[in-house]
């Protein structure tokens, strides 16, 4: 079980992810609707893991990822992207994202990405 911060500008996407994560036994400790909120909430809540949308207003997901990584180089961030955002996904992985999941979310894929990431860091 992990404490997770869910970041997406679409409230229904946050709700969908929250449902998947909660059913998977995880605890959603916070939500953010843009990159600026994500950085603030990350510092406040210190989650085990973050799901971060790539395309958001105010501050894009990749930029928020970079800033969070500067504060905490060990931050575990999984990017969420719509189909056709491969270039942004590559940029995010290069910037330190640990994985990415594609929208619309497949519950099994979401939980598998989280399980894999938590297993790789608990050794």
Cα–Cα distance for residue pair 72/69, rounded to 1 Å: 5
CATH number at residue 35: 3.40.50.2300
Question: β-pairing, 3-7 with 27-32?
Answer: parallel
Give the count of domains, the chain: 1
In 3-state terms, the chain is what percent helix, strand and coil (to 5)? 50, 20, 30
Its pTM stands at 0.94
Cα–Cα distance for residue pair 100/40, rounded to 1 Å: 22
Which residues, 6+ apart, have CB-to-CB distance to 83 below 8 Å?
102, 103
pLDDT (0 to 100) of residue 123 = 44
Domain holding 35, by residue range, is 3-121
> What are the per-10-residue average pLDDT scores of the chain (123 residues)?
96 96 98 98 98 95 97 96 81 94 93 92 55
pLDDT (0 to 100) of residue 85 = 74
């Amino acid at each position: 079980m992990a404490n997770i911060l869910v970041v997406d500008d679409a409230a229904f996407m946050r709700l969908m992810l929250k449902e998947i994560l909660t059913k998977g036994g995880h605890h959603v400790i916070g939500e953010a609707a843009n990159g600026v909120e994500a950085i603030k909430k990350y510092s406040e809540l210190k989650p085990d893991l973050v799901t971060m949308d790539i395309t958001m207003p105010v501050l894009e997901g990749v930029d928020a990822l970079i800033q969070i990584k500067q504060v905490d180089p060990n931050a575990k961030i999984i990017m969420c992207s719509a189909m056709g955002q491969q270039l942004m996904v590559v940029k995010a992985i290069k910037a330190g994202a640990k994985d990415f999941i594609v929208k619309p979310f497949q519950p099994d894929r979401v939980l598998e990405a989280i399980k894999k990431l938590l297993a790789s860091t608990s050794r």
